[in-house]
Amino acid sequence: LAEPKKLYRVQVGAYSVKANAEAMLAKLKAAGFTDAFIKSISSQ
């Protein structure tokens, strides 16, 4: 059996303003990180 593929994740930042998160996402994608994404979580 093949060994499962390992994934490593890096969190770039935590933003309380969605527009700031979107601006960082745009910078990351422009820098070549095409798989970058925003994940929204509740702080409750």
pLDDT one-digit tens code per residue, 1-43 = 888 899 999 999 999 999 999 999 999 999 999 999 999 998 7
At 3 the pLDDT is: 87
Model pTM score:
0.76
The string over 14-33, giving b where at least 16 C-beta atoms fall within 10 Å of a residue's C-beta and e elsewhere, is eeeeeeebeeebeeeeeeee
